[in-house]
Structure 1
Amino acid sequence: MRGIVLASGSPRRRELLGLLGLPFEVVVPRVKEDTAKYEDVKKTAMGLARMKAEVVAHVRQGEVIVASDTLVVLGDRVMGKPDNAAEALAVLHALRGRKHEVTSGIVVHDRPGRSPAVQAVETQVWMRDYSDREIADYIARDEPFDKAGAYAIQDRDFRPVARIKGCYTNVMGLPLCHLYVLLEQVGFTPPPVSPHRACEIHTGQRCLVAVDILKGANR
């Protein structure tokens, strides 16, 4: 079986890919994220994911490369990873009590000369009206600084999200069921693990979209 390489330094993506029960390695791509900007958010996310996959594919030829990029969008603003506490505070204030979108581009790069399997996934997210004190406590734990939008949906102390429409693990950074389908599209046979069930057990969330996503997949 060919190996899988995750083109990401994100601990959340490592955690999620591990739920499929597949052995994989991690190679962190060196990509300037401001070099792939389009007017369309989905194109930007897919473009960044494609760049990550291509960088890693050059050094790990013949292996299956998995790459993802996630954008948090409020209105016409892309909310990136905050560099400091002031930026984190501003982002969390802006998101508070409002709806925004989380869009991920996923790329599965099979081998040179073949087109990769790609998909853009969007989840709608409604934030709760958390307090200034909750924001301050969250920032004091140094949690926002490696996260697009400055928050983690799965944080059990902050719990910033009121509800979502779409894929939960997309908001974490790697839409698992969509990835499972893309792996099959490039001819990689995933193990007989239900990504739907693995995701629900891991996140503690009931998924309402997995059945439709996984129609026709071997699981």
Structure 2
Amino acid sequence: MGLPQFVLASASPARRRLLQMVGIEPIVRVSNFDESQIQTENATELVETLARCKAEAIAPQFDSALIVGCDSVLLLNGEIHGKPENAEVAIARWQHMSGQVGELYTGHAIIDQPQQQILVRTQVTRVYFAQMSDRAIRAYVATGEPLKCAGAFALEGRGGLFVDKIEGCHSNVIGLSLPLLRQMLSQLGYEVTEFWDR
């Protein structure tokens, strides 16, 4: 049996770059799954359900692939935050996040079509946000970057300036936990190195 195709069910350039950085060139398919269908106050349940639904949405396009779906949210003071709807929401969010500690949840789902298995896991990373002035918040939101990201910041972009430290998996905050991906592939019987530069 040949190695299955590696498919990323995500529109996120950051997730694709993470995979490319470690030698995996995924086939990218955007699921266009309507995330508003899933309503829950439990962050783990939310990201795991969305990750699985995104992977399942594109599964019919393939016969023998490994399909990876991901979804991230920020939990701050018991409240779940995804991407901000607009600049005003992003500014208010950052005024709330400034000097606080949040938890970034990323759900990971892998559909292994050859073995007819689905694995779903969540990685959580603690994020310590810097104390920011209103001027800095407005300048950051004006770049447009926060509008594209769960939690209204990109650790690998300008948002990295406003994160004092993280506890846990670094790549998880960018959108895909590389250690968790390796562990999940191993659980399915694959070596992550098999997917290098195919």
Supply the distance in 1 between the matched residues of 2:194 and 2:167 (Cα, whole angstroms): 27
Matches within 5 A, 1:1-219: 1-111=3-113, 114-156=116-158, 159-191=161-193
Unaligned stretches of 5+ in structure 1?
194-219
Contact 2:19–2:25 at 8 Å: present in 1 too?
no
Q: Secondary structure at the match of 1:116?
A: strand
Supply the distance in 2 between the matched residues of 1:98 and 1:55 (Cα, whole angstroms): 36
After superposition, give the CA deviation of every residue in 1:17-74 in whole Å (9 maximum; x if it has no partner): 1122123210000211122233321111100000011111111221010111001111
After superposition, give the CA deviation of every residue in 1:63-115 in whole Å (9 maximum; x if it has no partner): 01011100111122111212221011011111110011111110111017733
Aligned-residue CA RMSD (Å) = 2.0
Amino acid at match of 1:191: T
Cα deviation for residue 156 of structure 1 reads: 4.4
Supply the distance in 2 between the matched residues of 1:163 and 1:157 (Cα, whole angstroms): 12
TM-score normalised by L of structure 1: 0.82
Contact 2:76–2:103 at 8 Å: present in 1 too?
yes
TM-score normalised by L of structure 2: 0.91
Contact 1:29–1:52 at 8 Å: present in 2 too?
yes
Give the structure with the higher percent strand: 2
Q: What is the identity percentage for the equivalent residue pairs of Structure 1 and Structure 2?
A: 35
Indicate the residue corresponding to 1:198 in structure 2.
none
The number of residue pairs the alignment matches comes to: 194
Supply the distance in 2 between the matched residues of 1:128 and 1:101 (Cα, whole angstroms): 14
Contact 2:74–2:80 at 8 Å: present in 1 too?
yes
